[in-house]
């Protein structure tokens, strides 16, 4: 079995978004360190609503992920969402043009609270997306919490326990997820479900794991770690230290077949399983080039969050929650 996920930007069909009064869901991937958020919720019927387009503010769209998200926002049908023409960065910068939208770049260190209040008045229902730096995660979240602005946190790192505690205590709605690639998250969740339902199904099998990322990434991929955990629960007994990390360009080009234009931004993962008597082989693969899979997932998360806020949602969600309402999103 081999499955390859290749990121691509696809135009989307105009559609009404789904609004739901469901207040949240239990997540498969909620970190165990997270404070207890509502574990179960009364399910109310999902209804179709002709919602106005969602204003999305992207901080910081001069960074790589922020730019990709901003491009995905302007690439969506105008009935779904639009890009707020103001963004926060670490410092004030010249305005940038994203698909014809000229975005003013303000310093988050100078009167950001007042600017946020003003934007909320000008763009009712605004959702903030954050792709900044690990060191900025908690400070930025405190700003969004203080000004009661629902947000999607794609930035990794920072103090995650504090992040979840702050948002939960404020009863603010937010999507927080270190992996916004919906299809990758779905694969990860499916492997986890398999391990939970069929523990030991691959007992005795040997596992080989190879992952390739841009040379600047030093650590083992978090996704690989999560998938390996599921394979171990299935009986493999694999040491995460044995993952083959490919970070050299010649191997990426010649052996992994990474396209040259994606050497600086790719995430390739291959998991090979072999039976004890060498007669049965399985192979799972997910190869992502570029950032559009994360950017599109982020916009879907923002639309999801907007529907939750409209329905009174006030809790922390992740990409499993977004996936569970797949009917409202695209790609």
Residues classed as catalytic: 213, 217
Q: What's the closest the beta carbon of residue 240 comes to ligand NAD, in angstroms? A: 19
Which residue in the set 154, 290, 311, 313 belongs to the binding site for ligand NAD (CB under 6 A)? 154
- Residue range at the interface with ligand NAD (CB under 6 A); choices 74-82, 155-163, 299-307, 323-331: 155-163
Within residues 231-290, the interface with ligand NAD by CB under 6 A covers none
Other beta carbons less than 10 A from residue 17's beta carbon: 23
Pick 187 or 238: Cβ nearer ligand NAD: 187
Give every strand in the sheet of 281-289, ordered side by side.
244-246, 206-213, 266-274, 281-289
Which residue in the set 86, 108, 152, 164 belongs to the binding site for ligand NAD (CB under 6 A)? 108
Q: Which residues fall within 8 angstroms of residue 71, CB to CB, at 6 or more apart?
A: 9, 98, 99, 295
Question: Quick one: angle between helices 160-170 and 137-146, nearest 10?
Answer: 0
The residue sitting closest to ligand NAD, measured at its beta carbon, is 63
Within residues 164-203, the interface with ligand NAD by CB under 6 A covers 177-181
Pick 20 or 221: Cβ nearer ligand NAD: 221
Residue 90 makes contact with ligand NAD by CB under 6 A: yes
- Site size for ligand NAD (CB under 6 A): 27
Q: Which residues fall within 8 angstroms of residue 143, CB to CB, at 6 or more apart?
A: 108, 112, 113, 116
Pick 132 or 149: Cβ nearer ligand NAD: 132
From residue 38 to residue 67, the character string flagging contacts with ligand NAD as x (rule: CB under 6 A) and all else as - is ---------------------xx-xxxxx-
Which residue in the set 202, 268, 294, 304 belongs to the binding site for ligand NAD (CB under 6 A)? 294
Q: What's the closest the beta carbon of residue 76 comes to ligand NAD, in angstroms? A: 18
Q: Alpha-carbon distance 223 to 186, whole Å?
A: 12
Q: Alpha-carbon distance 14 to 51, whole Å?
A: 12
Q: Which residues fall within 8 angstroms of residue 26, CB to CB, at 6 or more apart?
A: 39, 40
Q: Alpha-carbon distance 172 to 179, whole Å?
A: 21
| DSSP E strand boundaries for 74-227 | 81-83, 86-89, 93-98, 101-107, 127-130, 151-153, 174-176, 206-213
Residues that bind ligand NAD (CB under 6 A): 59-60, 62-66, 88-90, 108, 131-134, 136, 140, 154-157, 177-181, 294
């Amino acid at each position: 079995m081999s499955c390859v996920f290749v990121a691509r930007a696809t135009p989307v069909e105009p559609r009404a978004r789904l609004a739901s009064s469901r207040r949240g869901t239990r997540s498969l991937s909620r970190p165990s360190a997270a404070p207890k958020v509502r574990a179960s919720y009364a399910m109310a019927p999902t209804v179709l609503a002709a919602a106005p387009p969602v204003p999305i503010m992207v901080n910081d769209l001069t960074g790589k992920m922020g730019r990709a998200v901003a491009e995905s926002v302007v690439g969506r049908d105008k009935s779904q969402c639009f890009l707020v023409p103001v963004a926060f960065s670490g410092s004030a910068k010249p305005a940038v043009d994203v698909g014809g939208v000229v975005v003013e770049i303000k310093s988050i260190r100078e009167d950001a609270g007042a600017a946020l209040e003003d934007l909320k008045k000008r763009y009712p229902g605004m959702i903030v997306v954050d792709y900044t730096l690990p060191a900025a995660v908690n400070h930025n979240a405190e700003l969004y919490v203080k000004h009661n602005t629902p947000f999607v946190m794609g930035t990794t790192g920072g103090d995650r326990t504090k992040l979840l505690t702050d948002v939960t205590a404020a009863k603010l709605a937010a999507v927080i997820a270190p992996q916004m690639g919906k299809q990758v998250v779905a694969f990860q969740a499916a492997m986890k479900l398999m391990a939970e339902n069929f523990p030991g199904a691959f007992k005795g099998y040997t596992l080989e794991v190879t992952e390739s990322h841009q040379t600047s990434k030093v650590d083992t991929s978090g996704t690989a770690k999560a998938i390996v955990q599921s394979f171990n629960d299935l009986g493999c007994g694999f040491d995460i230290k044995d993952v083959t990390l490919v970070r050299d360009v010649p191997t990426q080009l010649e052996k992994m077949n990474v396209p040259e234009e994606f050497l600086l931004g790719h995430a390739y993962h291959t998991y090979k399983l072999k039976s004890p008597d060498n007669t049965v082989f399985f192979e799972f693969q997910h190869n992502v080039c570029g950032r559009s899979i994360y950017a599109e997932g982020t916009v879907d998360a923002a639309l999801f969050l907007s529907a939750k806020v409209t329905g009174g949602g006030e809790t922390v969600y992740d990409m499993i929650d977004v996936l569970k309402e797949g009917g409202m999103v695209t790609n």
